[in-house]
Amino acid sequence: MTSQIVEDVLQALVAGLLSGAIYGLMCVGLGLIFGVMRVINFAQGDFMMLGMYAAYYLFLAAGIQGIFGNVIGPYVAILLSGPLLFLFGYGIHRLLVSRVTGQRTAGLEGEGHFAQLILTLGVALVLQNGGLILFGSVLASIRTPLSSSAWEIGPLWSDSISIFINKSRGIAALISILAMTALAMLITRTRMGKALRASADNPVAATYMGIDIDRSYRIAFGLGAAVTAVAGGLLATNYPFHPYIGTDYVIVMYAGVVLGGMGSIIGAFWGGMTIGLVQQLATLVLPTQLQNAAIFVVFLLIVFFRPQGFFGRVVERT
C-alpha cells in the first residue's frame, strides 16, 4: 500500500518536472518581453499557437519529415519555428506595439498601459480567429513514435516501485533546459544581451549610453515570441492543439512570470517549473477538475507572501 503511494508521488513529481521544464521555457519567452519592455502582452499565448502550427506545417508540408524522418524530424521543425516566430514578433513590434510603447507614451495616462493592453488583446483576437480560418478547428498534433513509448526507471529499492518517463516528454524537457541555457548565455555573455539588460534596467540611462532601446525592444519582442513558440512546439509533441489554445496557456505564463519575479528571466523559468509541479502534485490530493484551480490558489498565496516573486526586488522611493 505504502509503496503504491510512494510510486504515485514519485511519478507525479517526475511528471511535474517534465511539464514544468516546458512551462518554464514558455514563461521565459514572456518574461523576456515583460522584463525588458514592461508590456503586458495578451497575444503571447497566440504566438505559442503559431509556433505549434509552424512546427506542424514545417514537419509535414515543408519536407522535413522526408529528410529527417519521424523521430528527429519533429524536433528539427520545432527548432526552425523559432526563427520564423522571431521575425513575426519583430514585425508585430515594429508595426504595432512600438506605436504605444517607449518614448511615444510618455504623456499618456498610465504611460500607455491601457493602450498596450487593448492593442495586444486585439492582436490576440486576430491571431486566434485568423488561425481558425487558416488552420481549421480540427485538433492537430505532432506525433512522433516517441510519444507512445517510455523509459522505465526501476524497479527501485522495493521491487514494486518503478517510474515511467515518456520518451517524447523527457526529450522535450531536455531541449527546454538546453534552450533556456543557450538563452541565458545569450543574455549574460553577449553584447546584445548586455544592451537588452541595460534597456530593461533603466531605459533613459541606456539611451544616454548610446543604446538604441527601440531596437532592444524589437529584439526582445522577437526573441520572446521565438522562445515561447519553441516551447509550444515541444508541448505539441504530446498534446493535441487548436487555434484557441493560446488563451489557456497565456494565464499559466503570466502566473509563472509573476511567481518568478517580474523582470527576472531565470525567475520566470522557476516560476513555470513551480506551476508544472503544483499542477501535477495537486492530482494526488484533489480531483482532476480542481487541478487548475490549485494553480491559481497557490499562485495567490505565493504572491501575497512574497509580492516581489522568487527573484524580484522591491524598489520604492519617497
Least separation in angstroms between residue 317's CB and another protein is 7
The reply on whether position 235 binds another protein by CB under 8 A is: no
How far is the C-alpha of 229 from the C-alpha of 32, rounded, in Å?
Answer: 13
Tell me the site size for another protein, rule CB under 8 A.
Answer: 52
Q: Which residues pair with 151 in a beta bridge?
A: 165
Binder among 38, 94, 194, 197 for another protein (CB under 8 A):
38
Instruction: Write each residue from 109 to 138 as x if it is in contact with another protein (CB under 8 A), else as -, in one continuous string.
Output: xx-xxxx-xxx-xxxxxx-xxxxxx---x-
For residue 224, give the nearest of 38, 30, 22 by alpha carbon: 30
Q: Which residues pair with 163 in a beta bridge?
A: 153
- How far CA 2 is from CA of 5, 8, 286, in Å, comes to 5, 10, 19
How far is the C-alpha of 93 from the C-alpha of 119, rounded, in Å?
Answer: 11
The reply on whether position 284 binds another protein by CB under 8 A is: no
The reply on whether position 98 binds another protein by CB under 8 A is: no
Least separation in angstroms between residue 49's CB and another protein is 13
How far is the C-alpha of 295 from the C-alpha of 302, rounded, in Å?
Answer: 11
Binder among 158, 209, 297, 313 for another protein (CB under 8 A):
297
Contact 1, 199 (CB under 8 A): no
The reply on whether position 230 binds another protein by CB under 8 A is: no
Encoded amino acid at 47, one letter: F
Least separation in angstroms between residue 294's CB and another protein is 9
Q: Which is nearer to another protein, 125 or 139 (CB)?
A: 125
Element (H, E) at 307: none
Q: Which residues bind another protein (CB under 8 A)?
A: 38, 40, 42, 96, 99-100, 105, 108-110, 112-115, 117-119, 121-126, 128-133, 137, 243, 247, 251, 254-255, 258, 262, 287, 289-293, 296-297, 299-300, 303-304, 307, 317-318
